[in-house]
Amino acid sequence: MKRNFAHSFFLVLLFLVTLTFFGLIKEYLLATFWSIVLALLFRRTQDRILNRVGDKKNLAAGLTLTGILLMVILPLFLIGYAVTTEGIDFYNQIDSGEIKVKEYLDNLRSQVPVVERFLENLNLDVDQLRSSINESLANISKTIASSIFSFTQNFIGFVIQLAIMLYVLFFFLRDGRDLVKKLVWVLPIGDEKEWALIRRFESVARATVKGSLVVAMAQGSAGGLLFFFVGIPGAVLWGVLMTIVSLLPLGSGIIWIPAAIIFFVQGEITKAIIIVLVGSLLIGLLDNFLRPRLVGNDTKMPDYLILLSTLGGLTWVGISGFVLGPIIAAFFITCWEMMGENSNQPKETEVPDR
What residue spans define the domains of the chain?
A: 28-175, 187-340
The per-residue pLDDT for 312 is 85
Find the mean pLDDT for residues 14-22: 87
The per-residue pLDDT for 120 is 60
Among 132-136, 176-180, 241-245, 321-325, the range scoring the smallest mean pLDDT is 132-136
Find the mean pLDDT for residues 77-104: 67
Check residues 176 and 344 and name the one with the higher pLDDT: 176
The per-residue pLDDT for 348 is 45
Residue 197 Cα distances to 26, 216, 338, angstroms: 23, 27, 10
pLDDT confidence of 353, banded at 50, 70, 90?
Answer: very low
pLDDT digits (tens, 9 = 90+) for 118-157: 556 655 555 665 566 556 655 655 565 555 555 555 667 7
According to DSSP, residue 112 is labeled -
Whether pLDDT at 44 is above 50:
yes
pLDDT confidence of 164, banded at 50, 70, 90?
Answer: very high
The Cα–Cα gap between 296 and 303 comes to: 6
Find the mean pLDDT for residues 333-341: 77
Q: Is 32 exposed, middle or buried (0-12, 13-18, 19+ CB in 10 A)?
A: middle
Residue type for position 264: F
> 57-83 burial, b if ≥16 CB within 10 A, otherwise e?
eeebbbbbbeebeeeeeeeeeebeebb
The Cα–Cα gap between 30 and 17 comes to: 20
Among 173-177, 261-265, 293-297, 311-315, the range scoring the smallest mean pLDDT is 293-297
Closest residue by Cα to residue 229 from 291, 265, 289, 282:
282
The per-residue pLDDT for 205 is 79
The Cα–Cα gap between 84 and 90 comes to: 10
How many other CB atoms sit within 10 Å of the CB of residue 207?
A: 23
Whether pLDDT at 351 is above 50:
no
The per-residue pLDDT for 134 is 58
- Determine what percent of the chain is predicted with pLDDT higher than 90: 4
The Cα–Cα gap between 173 and 36 comes to: 9
| pTM score | 0.68
The per-residue pLDDT for 118 is 56
Which range of 185-194, 226-235, 257-266, 290-299 scores highest in mean pLDDT? It is: 226-235
The per-residue pLDDT for 344 is 63
The per-residue pLDDT for 138 is 58
The per-residue pLDDT for 299 is 58
The per-residue pLDDT for 331 is 79
Residue 233, C-beta contacts closer than 8 angstroms, at least 6 positions apart: 90
The per-residue pLDDT for 65 is 92
The Cα–Cα gap between 235 and 141 comes to: 17
pLDDT digits (tens, 9 = 90+) for 184-204: 787 777 777 778 788 878 777
How many other CB atoms sit within 10 Å of the CB of residue 220?
A: 25
Average pLDDT across the chain, whole number: 76
Phi-psi region of 278 (alpha: psi -120 to 50; beta: other; left: phi over 0): alpha
